[in-house]
Amino acid sequence: MDQLAIIFARVLQAIPTLIGIVIVTFLLTRALPGDPAAYFAGASATPESIAEIRAKLGLDQPLPVQFLKYVQDLGSGNLGQSVSTGQPVATELLKRLPASLELTLTALLLSVAVAIPLGVLAAVRQDSWIDQLCRFVVTAGVSLPTFFTGLLLVYVFYFLLGVAPAPLGRLDLMHITPPQVTGFLVFDSLIAREWSTAWSALKQLLLPSITLALFTLAPIARMTRAAMLQALSSEYLRTARAAGLSRGRVLMVYAFRNALLPVVTTLGMVFSFTLGANVLVEKVFAWPGIGSFAIEALVVSDYAAVQGFVLSMAVLFVLLNLVIDTLYTLIDPRVQVDG
Amino acid sequence: MTDTVMNPSMAAAASRSSSWSRGFAHFRYVMTSNPVTFLAFVMLAAMIAVAVFGPSLVPHDPLATAADKALKPPTWQHWFGTDQLGRDVFSRVVVATRLDLLISVSAVALSFVCGALMGACAGYWGGWFDKLSGRLLDTIMAFPLFVLAMGIVAAAGNTIQNIVIATAIINLPFYARVARAEVSIRRNAGYVQAARLSGNSELRILIMKILPNTLPPMMVQLSLNMGWAILNAAGLSFIGLGVRPPTAEWGIMVAEGANYIVSGEWWLALFPGAALMLAVFTFNLLGDGLRDLVDPQRRT
Amino acid sequence: MSTPLHNPPLLAVRDLCVEFATRKGPVTAVRSVNLQVAKGETLGIVGESGSGKSVTSYAVMRILDRAGRIVSGGIEFGGMQLHDAPEDMMSDLRGREISMIFQNPRAALNPIRTVGKQIEDVLIRHAQATHDQAKAKAIEALEKVRIRDAARRYHAYPFELSGGMCQRVVIAIALACKPQLLIADEPTTGLDVTTQKAVMELVRELTRSEGMSTLLITHDLGLAGEYCDRIVVMEKGEVVEQQDTAKLFTFPAHPYTRRLIRSTPHAAATIRDLLPDDLRLPLPSAMTVSSEPLLEVSNLVKEFDPPGGLLQRLKKRTPYRAVAGISFSVARGESVGLVGESGCGKSTTSAMVMRLLDATAGSIRFKGQELTAVSAAAFARSPLRRELQMVFQDPHESLNPRATAAQSIADPLIRLEGMSNGAEIRARVEALATQVGLQHELLDRLPHQLSGGQKARVGIARAISTKPELLILDEPTAALDVSVQAVVLNLLADLKAEFGMSYLFVSHDLEVVRLLCDRVIVMRAGCIVEEGQAARVLSAPQADYTRELLAAIPRPAHLPGHAAPVVEAVRA
């Protein structure tokens, strides 16, 4: 019961954050220099047509009124109209969301599967080769520009070695998209029993998710190693050793579970970086997700699209953080409800 | 209880000059005790030298195009090859050092000063300022940071100044958080209470006693952040924000080179990318060394 | 050696040498240590910091740090050789045949695992219970260490328990499998004096009833004297003396032992008794205590807002009363002791008197002026600031890590006395250093280059630099070794006489207060429980709580001064 109360409190705490996000997104587009009306009107617009568009967009109203209209629109799911595609922004984003999610989740899974064992082993076998490897991976990993790694991987594995497919998106030219069930192409093709489509989708997914995974590997491995080291040198671990508990138990139950706490906390920051790096990876691999949508929108100054992108990424991030917080509450009994 | 008789003014003079020589001796000690730190400092010095003197020493004009020499692989005349417009990649990479360093150093300096001040005041005095700044920081951190930078630059206009400001804003919370935590730990430490008893005003205590002691952890943060700021700025240019062609900047050079890597012309993207990596790597290595330099407890 | 020849010792350590690898090369922590523990015996290892007593016990358990290793010598336990035993053999022995309990009990327990499960882990590991029986046995173990409501506490996490209860859980874990030998490494450090006694009595009872041997490691000679059959004294990694307890206290052989016994406040009649013979100067003549009060505190109250944010305040939790309306006074030239356990409000009171903290209500009059009229934040500028100074508890934390000793001492001179001439300041600093017995060449060192005792002297020099009239000493020797404590206490006594200061001595250690103070005030839960002349309160207390406190002080039967401390009229 207590834990439910804490989780509920966290959900409540997310509300002012959401309000803050809405305000900031609004301010970004209205209060800063730059004239959206001019963007929408186009390069060859006359002052009268600009003024007409301004009135149509409601930009001649005072700011608080504009804000209210903005919130109203949001409430009804209206994120504006995309200039480049002519579709509502919300539709475009929803259409492209599964692609980004598939990429991000695969990458996170990969990096956690590698980083956590690496960090644990590095801490347990200090100064061994695996520890040196971990430290190297961490320092190199935080120095790598994601877009550069992606390009390098493409060059080596596609151009030089020929093992990877061309970075042209989610499926190669020979296959068609399977009927949509989850939006994740690999699952959808498996469900539709189109094996070669599934294989193609998987191959296309490999390089981009590895690129993204390399980026998130470093902070997770670093935090796991540091947290394990701290747990291993703690006083309660000394008690466990002095009580003769088996090595496995000491490592897993007494050290690792305690070390997970700061790692879970770090995941929040890692998600932040991932959602940002996602944009870069999507550009390199021509991945049709919301990141590449935003980049295209930026190029043509499609205002509503960029704004919608920022807003939806932020909301996604808040939700992810809520999940992490809930996870943390369930693991750590010391968490209390506080204002 | 020994009584060492020493001329007071001599002692004062001795302690003054010795603090300089002590400082230098400590610098030498840090450099020699950890080879990694030494390497990092050498690389930093090299980078700064390239940024300062590079543009005047490059063999070719970074902006000069030559259609007949386009897309040539590395040769003795063009160490890093030429790009799609025939420009010398080596000269461009060298010249870009100055721009990239300038962007990141200004962004980091801006966010460090503002963030540290904000965090220190919030940590020391608490109250409404703490709550307000906390909310502000939370709102910034509620966005995936790179995405926020994209939004800011898109809204404010596609210029280099706005890249600096956007990078500064998204880096602010890190410094503010660290500063706030470090200051509030020390707020009621023994020596701080003693300083109050010695008649120091609260402001004086914060600036003269607490802040210098928070420098070591901040130094590590600073260095890591420099690396991240460089990556951020390059990422923004990669997607077309901030820097416009034909300006030479590492991120935009990689973006331009990306189109050619699938057809095998690797040198356009590799060299600027490698330079980027090296710069970030240097700053990451630097972190621990800087902390050792600044931390009095490392002195023997 | 008094081990009977027909009974082989349970534990025998022979010529043990332990080294640690450091950046500057190997450091020998323990050198040629020989000791035995017989069956059913309680052996105490006594030493100050750096003596190697803990390292010896870690070596026996083979839980040394990565950097430490046993270089030579042997450890024999129940016929088995431990010093080179394989790890899985050691892992079987630990917890089942040899157990250990540590200081700082809350940190010694896994914070995210219930205490019941932690006990079960040990039981199951050493096959003392199957999974079904484990819970019942764990509750049994909790009951054995006198934890009330054991069935409910089984589900508790360490953060929900008090320090004393945590230590009981640690003991339960250690004794769950009924080991033959219990090693207790400073088990009472960090606990209140009354809790200390409860824990030691529990350990004694449990080990006696099972016929267990105990190895008690402590820096407190009095504690060892009360609970141990034999005592080993260690200094700088070597054993200097080993004796039956009675013989050790009545005929100590080694000069270090003699110095240790001497430094224990319990045995001393005057403060000079703490020092070795060669350093004793005559007591300063007793100061006349004036009848005019220097400090008058009336109905002082301090309330803190309850922790937690909006949600807690909405629940209308009452604020926490740290100090609940106390009144006392300190006369000119008097030394008053403020005594109590943790949480009694003594530190809050001293912070308010020092004007580091604002009072919620009440008055503090100093030399006739009302101090509460000026807020704590503004007091730095008041001319009275220089009359009220403080010596802090933790010498490590009370000096700015970036300032040399000279700079720390000079700070009040520059700020409060307005001195600006570098040479003059230096001269004053050196004079102060001489007065507190700090060598001048140490003045240019940073705090981490000074020892605990040297840092304490710097703190004292800084506090007396403005010749204050009232000096508050907040547990100034709590973090120091006993021999250093002896010297520092004498220094404080001498300084008081020389400068004519009044002292408010805040402490939890009644014996030290007895030696240094004229009057004593006993506090509990924010209220004054008893007050009066030190001699009277400490020999014939009237309040139950005071009696409890006095009874909790370990009183070795062989230490002189056991019955009722005869206190001389002349006091420093």
Contacts of C310 in chain A (CB under 8 A): 339
Asked whether residue B133 falls in the same domain as residue B27, the answer is: no
Q: What is the nearest CA distance from B40 to chain C, expressed in angstroms?
A: 22
Give the closest-approach CA distance of B90 to chain C in angstroms: 44
* Distance between CA atoms of residues C195 and C188, nearest Å: 8
Residue of C nearest to B14 (CA): C444
Q: What is the mean pLDDT of residues C3-25?
A: 83
Each residue's pLDDT tens digit, A108-149: 999 999 999 999 999 998 888 888 888 888 888 888 899 999
pLDDT digits over C105-145, tens only? 989 999 999 999 999 999 999 988 888 889 999 999 999 99
Q: Coil, strand, or helix at residue B147?
A: helix
The whole-number pLDDT of residue C566 equals: 37
Residues B22 and B94 in one domain: no
B230: domain range? 35-298
Preferred mutation among C281, C400, C487 to probe B, highest tally of B CBs within 10 A: C400
What pLDDT sits at residue C217? 95
Q: Chain B residues with CB inside 8 Å of A164's CB?
A: none
Least confident of B9-13, B84-88, B185-189, C351-355: B9-13
- CA dist C522 → C300, C529, C563 (Å): 15, 6, 22
| pLDDT over 90 (residue C316) | no
Banded model confidence at residue C569, pLDDT cuts 50, 70, 90: very low
Q: Is the Cβ pair A147, B138 closer than 8 Å?
A: no
Residue scoring higher pLDDT (B172 or A181): B172
Which pLDDT score is estimated for C232? 95
Contact map slice: A 46-105 vs C, CB within 8 A: none
**Domains of chain C with CATH codes:** 293-540 (3.40.50.300)
pLDDT-derived band at C244, boundaries 50, 70, 90: very high
User: Complex ipTM, two decimals?
Assistant: 0.82
Q: What is the DSSP string of C24-50?
A: TEEEEEEEEEEEEE-TT-EEEEE--TT
Same domain, yes or no: B157 and B291:
yes
* Predicted local distance difference test score (pLDDT) of residue B260: 87
Q: Which chains have 3+ CB pairs within 8 A of B? A: A, C
Q: Å from A230 to nearest chain C CA? A: 13
Q: What is the pLDDT, as a whole number, of residue A331? A: 83
Note whether A276 contacts B146, CB cutoff 8 Å. Answer: yes
Task: Give me the percent of chain B exceeding a pLDDT of 70.
Answer: 91
Instruction: Encode C466-492 in three state secondary structure.
Output: CCCCEEEEECCCCCCCHHHHHHHHHHH
Tell me the per-residue pLDDT of B154-165, one tens digit each, with 9 for 90 and over.
788 788 898 999
**Residue numbers in A near B135 (CB within 8 A):** 16, 20
Say whether A21 and B157 touch across the interface (CB within 8 A): no
Q: Which residue has the higher pLDDT, C333 or A338?
A: C333
Predicted local confidence at residue A64, as pLDDT: 79
The whole-number average pLDDT for the span C309-335 is: 80
Model confidence pTM above 0.90: no
User: How high is the mean pLDDT of chain B?
Assistant: 84
Under a CB-based contact definition with an 8 Å cutoff, are residues C495 and C285 in contact?
Answer: no
Determine the pLDDT at residue B117: 92
Chain B residues 263-292 with CB within 8 Å of chain A: 263-264, 266, 269-270, 273, 276-277, 280-281, 284-285
Q: Do C94 and A333 touch (CB under 8 A)?
A: no
Chain C residue with CA closest to B3: the answer is: C434
Task: In whole angstroms, give the CA distance from residue A152 to residue C283.
Answer: 82
pLDDT at A194: 79
Q: Are A169 and A285 in contact (CB under 8 A)?
A: yes
CB atoms within 10 A of CB B167: 32
The per-residue pLDDT for A41 is 62
Report for A47-56, A152-161, B73-82: range of highest mean pLDDT: A152-161
What number is the average pLDDT over the span C202-210? 90
Question: In the predicted model, what is the mean pLDDT of residues C413-436?
Answer: 92
Chain C hits for A249, Cβ within 8 Å: 121, 125
Same domain membership, residue B184 and residue B53: yes
pLDDT at C564: 39
Position with higher pLDDT, C291 vs B10: C291
Nearest chain A Cα distance for residue B208, angstroms: 32
Q: Among B67-71, B132-136, C29-33, C292-296, which stretch is predicted with the lowest mean pLDDT?
A: B67-71
Give the chain B residue nearest C401 (alpha carbons): B296
Query: What is the pLDDT, as a whole number, of residue A33?
Result: 54
Tens-place pLDDT, residues A23-41: 888 887 765 555 666 666 6
Within this chain, do residues B80 and B176 fall inside the same structural domain, yes or no?
yes
Alpha carbon distance, N-terminus to C-terminus of chain C: 41
Q: Are residues B55 and B17 in the same domain?
A: no
Number of separate domains in chain B: 2
CATH number at residue B273: 1.10.3720.10
Q: What is the pLDDT of residue C90?
A: 92
Q: In what order do the strands lie in the sheet with C42-46?
A: C98-101, C181-185, C213-218, C42-46, C230-235, C238-244
Residue B172 and residue B239 in one domain = yes
Same domain, B24 and B163: no
pLDDT at C492 over 60: yes
361-390 in chain C: CB under 8 A from chain B: 377, 380-381, 385-386, 388-390
So what's the pLDDT on residue C89? 92
Q: Does the distance separating the beta carbons of C444 and B18 come in below 8 Å? A: yes
Chain A hits for B151, CB-CB cut-off 8 Å, are: 25, 28, 306-307, 310
Cβ-nearest to C402 among B196, B200, B213: B213
The count of CB pairs under 8 A between chains A and B is 146
Model confidence at B83, pLDDT cuts 50, 70, 90, reads confident
Can you say whether residue C384 is alpha, beta or left, with left for phi > 0 and alpha for psi between -120 and 50 degrees?
A: alpha
When mean pLDDT is compared over B31-35, C449-453, C566-570, the highest value belongs to C449-453
pLDDT score of B11: 45
C491 contact B CB<8A? no
Residue B180 clears pLDDT 90, i.e. is over it: yes
Do B89 and B211 reside in the same domain of the chain?
A: yes
> Taking the C-alpha atoms of A58, A60, A62 and A68 in order, what is their torsion angle to the nearest 10 degrees?
10
Query: Do B23 and B40 lie in a common domain?
Result: no
Chain A residues in contact with C185 (beta carbon < 8 A): none
In tens, the pLDDT along C275-286 reads: 777 666 776 666
Give residue B45's pLDDT band: very low, low, confident or very high (50, 70, 90): very high
- Closest to C380 (Cβ–Cβ): which among B3, B191, B200? B200
- What is the pairing mode between strands C502-507 and C181-185? unpaired
- Note the pLDDT of residue B129: 93
The answer to whether C91 contacts chain A (CB < 8 Å) is yes
Q: Is the pLDDT of residue B223 over 90?
A: no
Greatest Cα pair distance, chain B, in angstroms, is 86
Q: What pLDDT is attached to residue C571?
A: 35
Q: Is residue A209 very low, low, confident or very high in pLDDT (cuts 50, 70, 90)?
A: very high
The subunits that touch chain A, with at least 3 C-beta pairs less than 8 Å apart, are B, C
Residues B256 and B149 in one domain: yes
Q: Are residues B202 and B274 in the same domain?
A: yes
Q: What is the pLDDT of residue A113?
A: 94
What percentage of chain C exceeds 70 in pLDDT?
A: 92
Reduced to 3 states (helix: H, G, I; strand: E, B; else coil), residue C365 is strand
Of B12, B189, B199, the CB nearest to C415: B199
For residue C388, the chain B residues in CB contact (below 8 A) are 197
Average pLDDT for residues C332-341, to the nearest whole number?
A: 91
In angstroms, the separation between the Cα of residue B93 and the nearest Cα of chain A is 15
CB nearest B213 (choices: C401, C441, C449)? C401
Contact A298 B234 (CB under 8 A): no
Cis omega (within 30 of 0) on the bond before C284? Answer: no
